[in-house]
Each structure stands twice: as C-alpha cells, then as structure tokens.
Amino acid sequence: MNHNDATRGRFITFEGIDGAGKSTHIGHVIALLEGAGKTVVSTREPGGTPLGEKLRDLVLHEKMHLETEALLMFASRREHVAQVIAPALARGEWVLSDRFTDASFAYQGGGRGLDRAKLDALEEWVHPHLQPDLTLLFDVPLDVARARLAATRTLDKFEMEQADFFARVRAEYLRRAAQSGGRIVVIDSTQSIAGVRMALQAALEPWL
C-alpha cells in the first residue's frame, strides 16, 4: 500500500499500558476527524472481525504458551488487515484502531520477553506494506494505571499481570516511540481530559 497516495485514507492507532486511559479519548478523536469531513472506521485489536473477536476471547482469557499468544495476535491481525483495514484505506476512509502491532512488540516482546526477531518476522509476514501513519501512545506512570485498573470490575489475563510486567511494557512502548521518527506521539495521560484533548488536537493538526 502506497503511503503517499493522496486518495488513500489514513491509519491511526491508539496504544498504551492497560489503565492508561486511551479508550476514554478515542471518541474525541473520531469527533475531531468527522468534524473535519473524514469518514472514520473505528476498530480494535485483538478483534475487529467476527473471527478476530473469537480469537480475542481466547487470547485474553486462556493460559497459553507465549508464542501461541503472539501467533494468535497476528492471526487476528491478518484477518483484520485483509477484511477491514486495507479495504477501508483503499476507499479513502480513515481507520482508527484501538491497538495494533506496537502492542505485540510492547506486550509479547517487552512484557513477556519474546525474541524481537520473531515479532519482526510476523510483522513482515502479516502486513509488509502497511504501517500506521500516526500512533497516539497514552502514557501514565504505573501507579496511576494500577489505580485506574483497580476500579475495573473484571480483569482479563493481561490486566492481572504484576507491576514489573507493565513496567517492561511501558518501557518498550517508550523505546519504540523514541525510535519511531515521529510516527508515535506520546500523550501525557496524567493531564486533565481537556489537557489530553489539546495534545490530541496538536498531534492531529498536521494530518487535517
């Protein structure tokens, strides 16, 4: 897929450790883009297709080998790219995905310690010509994220992980952001909702 094709839609992803507050802000970004006349497709990973949602249920609730977990994330992604993301971009629509491949590098790579070369190979296999145009990384210190999660009623397999797991996930996200050449924009999610919205507006400005 040619990123310079002006008729192609744009691909924006949302990332962050569990409890960083990204879900609160996706609706605002949709409103901003729709206000600017864009047609928006909002989706998520793991999931985003009927099969992907079944895989999501498995991967968030069953114990499994680390590599099985990574493979299922990419299996869900393969369906998602083929059925939802690529067709929408080709139609000129804007795709907003609540998580994408940065999450696999952060969680399976950083958090669980899976060899990065294996993740590189899966990425190359599943979406060799597709990268997000912009990734909004919602960042908060661990204690803030933990406090937000504590207010959640039922926690999934990842949300039940210990603080050191999330410290590794966060560190990997921030490392990737630093090396992303501007693709990944870090949003300080400890700010007020109004402050976060201003930061989002600034990050989206060059695309509107």
Task: State the residues that interact with ligand TMP by CB under 6 A.
Answer: 18, 44-46, 60, 73, 98-99, 103-104, 107-108, 158
Q: Among residues 98 and 172, whose Cβ is nearest to ligand TMP?
A: 98
Q: Within a 13 Å sphere around the CA of 142, how many CA atoms are in the beta-carbon half?
A: 12
Least Cβ distance, residue 97 to ligand TMP (angstroms): 9
Least Cβ distance, residue 150 to ligand TMP (angstroms): 15
Least Cβ distance, residue 134 to ligand TMP (angstroms): 17
Least Cβ distance, residue 46 to ligand TMP (angstroms): 5
Q: Among residues 18 and 139, whose Cβ is nearest to ligand TMP?
A: 18
Least Cβ distance, residue 208 to ligand TMP (angstroms): 25
Adjacency order of strands within the sheet including 40-44: 40-44, 94-98, 11-15, 134-139, 184-188
Distance CA 74, CA 52 (A): 10
Rounded to the nearest 10 degrees, the angle between the axes of helix 66-80 and helix 50-61 is 160
Q: Among residues 2 and 154, whose Cβ is nearest to ligand TMP?
A: 154
Q: Is 146 exposed, middle or buried (0-12, 13-18, 19+ CB in 10 A)?
A: middle
Convert 55-67 to b/e letters by CB count within 10 Å (16 or more is b).
bbeebeeeeeeee
Q: Among residues 37 and 50, whose Cβ is nearest to ligand TMP?
A: 50
Residue 15's H or E segment, with its range, is strand 11-15
Q: Taking Cα atoms as reference points, which of 29, 45, 41 lies closest to residue 207?
A: 29
Q: Among residues 79 and 98, whose Cβ is nearest to ligand TMP?
A: 98
Q: Among residues 25 and 99, whose Cβ is nearest to ligand TMP?
A: 99
Least Cβ distance, residue 92 to ligand TMP (angstroms): 25
List alpha helices for 62-162, DSSP H: 66-80, 86-90, 101-103, 116-126, 142-150
